[in-house]
Chain A
Amino acid sequence: MPHKIKADKVSLQFQNKQVLTNISFELEGEKIYGLLGRNGAGKTSLLSVLAAFVKPTSGSIAVDGEHVFENANVMEQIVFIRDVKMDDENGKAKKYMKDLSIFRPNFDMDYAERLIQRFKLPTDTEVSKLSRGMQSALHAIIGLASRCPITIFDEAYLGMDAPAREIFYEEVLNDFMEHPRTIILSTHLISEMESMFEEVLIIDQGQMIMHEDAETLRDSGVSVTGAVEQVDLFVNGKHILKEQVLGGTKLAMIYGQLSEQEIEEAKALKLTLGPITLQELFIHLTKEDKQ
């Protein structure tokens, strides 16, 4: 059964700094979610609250109606993977995993072994002596093999090179199909990962500015190119994300879908319509100088 996550007006202050402001959302579960935000937007803080590592200043997060903070039952259901250095850890990879798996009732050691082989993780080296990339892989392996109903990867790919990231994405998708669960991936590498998401949440300056079906979001912006006056005429009154003039030509990106009538109107004005990528949408929705 899917685990429903509900965040209710979560705010977090940290040393007088407002990190999260009034964040509310609901996740139905058994989907792959993308949490997008710029560096410092509050992604890790939000996920830390969800994983019960941090108590919110106000508001709460509940899983199936149970508050997560200091709730052992719920905490067992959540694994939170961050790409942190393991310089102080002793022991080799398998021992390290075995020790951790005690707290993970669904931990699949066979799957972990297969992943060790796929990532070519050295098993005869102390964890603390592993390279950055291999430490990242070890984190990812633990996150996947734990098979927790709620699995969170907070920029877990950071230390991985491109081939390792490819393996990671493939394993996330495969294992999700075989063992459906709620997977939350936070990232700012949007173009590389966006196709994996079913729903996308965008956080900016500590606030949730978007929670939408990924395909809907991908389809919710339009670029308009044509003669300056014609473009101005067409975009007047629409939600403009970006405008750029090059000689007599203007490019405008607008947010929102066009009606059949508007498409005809654009044709009549000899405008070229095109899609805009999730990456572009993200950049314009989260840029600092927006009004």
Chain B
Amino acid sequence: MRSSLDENKPIFQQIREMIEDDIVNGNLKEEDQAPSTNQLVAYYKINPATVLKGFNQLVDAGILYKKRGVGMFVAAGAYQMLREQRKQAFQEQYVWSMMHEAEKLGISVEEIKNMIDSMKERQG
């Protein structure tokens, strides 16, 4: 859950990412019940059709499944699937923009590696 929504992104996408985040960081475990449409609508003041669109994408992707008359639940294998997706996205987004910024500053790949190593050491 987030305290508020970002007005720069489609809302259904944020709903989808929010649920995905909760699964990846362990707040929502497999077979747990996802928040209900009504809860999300009331909390974020968003259109119910928008919430459903986000949920439906997660159902189509096999992350959530519907229990008739009960609600949405986290599917088995959802965690593993999301982690794989996030890993790929990590490379495409974070690593790409890091290298882009490094290029602007004239930082070599070797220097980046050293920076990562020293960061690791600092973290212990």
Contacts and interface: CB of A to CB of B under 8 A. Distances in A.
Interface residues of A, number: 26
A189 B49 CA distance: 21
A89 to B, nearest CB: 31
B7 A196 contact: no
A215 B53 contact: yes
A229 interface: no
Interface string B6-46: 01111110000000000000000000000001100110111
B71 interface: no
A195 B46 contact: yes
Contacts of B46: 173, 195-196
A177 B5 contact: no
A277 B53 contact: no
Contacts of B10: 215, 218-219
A26 B47 CA distance: 20
B8 A274 contact: yes
A169 B45 contact: yes
A168 to B, nearest CB: 10
Nearest to A193: B45
B48 interface: yes
A279 to B, nearest CB: 8
Query: Which applies to chain B's interface (DSSP): helix, strand, loop or mixed?
Result: helix
Contacts of A270: 100
Nearest to B12: A215
B7 A194 contact: yes
Contacts of A166: 45
Contacts of A31: 49
A214 B50 CA distance: 9
A270 B46 CA distance: 35
Contacts of A279: 7
Contacts of B5: 195
B45 A170 contact: yes
A66 interface: no
The range of chain B's interface size is 20 to 34
A253 to B, nearest CB: 13
A214 B49 CA distance: 11
Contacts of B7: 191, 194-195, 277-279
Nearest to A166: B45
Query: Which applies to chain A's interface (DSSP): helix, strand, loop or mixed?
Result: helix
Contact of A173 (B12, B48, B100): B48
A216 B12 CA distance: 11
Contacts of A278: 7
B48 to A, nearest CB: 6
A27 to B, nearest CB: 14
A174 interface: yes
A177 B41 contact: yes
Contacts of B47: 32, 173, 195-198, 214
Contacts of A215: 10-12, 50, 53
A196 B11 CA distance: 10
20 contacts: A169-B45, A173-B41, A173-B47, A177-B38, A177-B48, A195-B45, A195-B46, A195-B47, A196-B45, A196-B46, A196-B47, A197-B47, A214-B47, A215-B10, A270-B100, A274-B8, A275-B8, A275-B9, A277-B7, A279-B7
Interface of B: 5, 7-12, 37-38, 41-42, 44-50, 53, 100
Given A177-B38, A218-B10, 11 more contacts: A170-B45, A173-B42, A173-B45, A174-B38, A196-B47, A214-B50, A215-B10, A215-B11, A218-B11, A274-B8, A275-B8
Closest 4 A-B residue pairs measured CB to CB? A275-B8, A195-B46, A198-B49, A169-B45
